[in-house]
């Protein structure tokens, strides 16, 4: 009887393991299908001209998405400049004053902001920046994307610094090191891997956003280096080409999608590499 009971338990255990493995593999299927179709349709368009030329009118051969690639890079730099200092300092405050009333309010605001739809953030950026200056611009796009980056950076910084042993800060303060130097020289360097991971993941999140840019940067078929004028981006260019009735532009949309997915995947892989290489052992 005991042998039958043991056999039944083994069968149930193997069945459960099989179900878990099957569901885990099945959950990866959508991602694999997306990568397959984007690679199959997009890789054929990718060449040096596609990466270095500006868009051309329909009917003309050639052309590319250089303005969209450069515009995406500009928006990433702008949003990083606007969000990283505020995100890290807010995360430091929440980790240092975690039980204060203000910290609870700030933490609630971060949670709400993280769940705010991107199109709403785009409308807010339109009201704040676009409407007063009467023009779409790269600056307004950077503002919208920086707002989306903030919650990820703040949470990553806070959670990373909370994992640090308290005796590191105590030892620094006991030696007479000023509080600000303790933050800059002890706390931040120790948690740099987690903070960098949060920054990279926030960049991966905003790189593919389209809705906020429709209300802010808007798009531009020409190369524009003026931050106060409309600027193009890969998500907007994909949207514009995909909605057109021309097969040539549909092919360009697949190519731009391939570049965008490669950039997002690159950010995620770098984030994992940073976490693995600079992992702090306490």
So what's the pLDDT on residue 140? Answer: 95
Contacts of 64 (CB under 8 A, 6+ apart): 49, 50, 51, 52, 53, 54, 55
Same domain, 23 and 93: no
pLDDT by residue (tens digit) across 47-83? Answer: 999 999 999 888 788 889 999 999 999 999 999 999 9
91/150 Cα distance (integer angstroms): 10
Same domain, 61 and 185: yes
- Whole-angstrom CA distances from 224 to 130, 193, 214 are 17, 35, 17
Token code pair at residue 266: 């690159």
Same domain, 79 and 193: yes
Same domain, 160 and 144: yes
Between CA 274 and CA 88, with CA 139 as vertex, the angle to 5 degrees is 35
pLDDT by residue (tens digit) across 155-165? Answer: 999 998 888 87
So what's the pLDDT on residue 278? Answer: 62
Evaluate whether residue 282 is within a structural domain: no
Same domain, 107 and 197: yes
Given a cut of 70, the residues of the chain with pLDDT beneath it are: 1-3, 277-282
Same domain, 80 and 152: yes
Task: Measure the CA dihedral 261/83/191/265, to 10°.
Answer: 0
242/249 Cα distance (integer angstroms): 7
Domain enclosing residue 232, as ranges: 49-277
- Whole-angstrom CA distances from 187 to 30, 80, 119, 179 are 40, 22, 36, 10
CATH number at residue 109: 1.10.3720.10
Evaluate whether residue 273 is within a structural domain: yes
So what's the pLDDT on residue 282? Answer: 45
Same domain, 55 and 138: yes
So what's the pLDDT on residue 167? Answer: 80
**Comparing C-alpha atoms, which of 209, 212, 104 is closest to residue 112?**
104
Same domain, 155 and 191: yes
Same domain, 25 and 68: no
Contacts of 164 (CB under 8 A, 6+ apart): 187, 190, 191, 282
């Amino acid at each position: 009887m005991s042998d039958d009971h043991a056999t039944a338990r083994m069968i149930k255990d193997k069945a459960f393991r099989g179900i878990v493995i099957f569901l885990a593999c099945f959950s990866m299927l959508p991602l694999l299908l997306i990568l397959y179709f984007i690679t199959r349709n997009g890789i054929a368009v990718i060449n040096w001209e596609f990466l270095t030329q500006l868009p051309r009118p329909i009917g003309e051969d050639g052309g590319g998405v250089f303005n969209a690639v450069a515009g995406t890079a500009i928006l990433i730099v702008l949003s990083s400049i606007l969000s990283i200092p505020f995100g890290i300092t807010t995360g430091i405050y929440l980790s240092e004053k975690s039980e204060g009333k203000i910290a609870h309010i700030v933490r609630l605001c971060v949670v709400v902001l993280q769940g705010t739809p991107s199109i709403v953030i785009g409308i807010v950026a339109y009201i704040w920046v676009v409407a007063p200056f009467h023009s779409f611009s790269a600056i307004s796009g950077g503002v919208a994307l920086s707002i989306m980056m903030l919650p990820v950076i703040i949470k990553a910084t806070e959670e990373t610094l909370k994992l640090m042993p308290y005796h590191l800060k105590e030892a620094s303060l006991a030696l007479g090191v000023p509080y600000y130097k303790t933050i800059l020289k002890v706390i931040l360097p120790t948690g740099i891997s987690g903070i960098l991971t949060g920054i990279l993941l926030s960049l991966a999140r905003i790189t593919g956003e389209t809705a906020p840019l429709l209300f802010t940067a808007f798009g531009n078929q020409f190369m524009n280096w003026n931050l106060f004028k409309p600027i193009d981006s890969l998500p907007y260019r994909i949207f514009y080409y995909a909605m057109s009735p021309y097969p040539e532009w549909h092919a360009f949309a697949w190519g731009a999608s391939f570049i965008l997915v490669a950039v997002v995947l690159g950010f995620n892989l770098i984030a994992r590499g940073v976490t693995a290489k600079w992992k702090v052992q306490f």
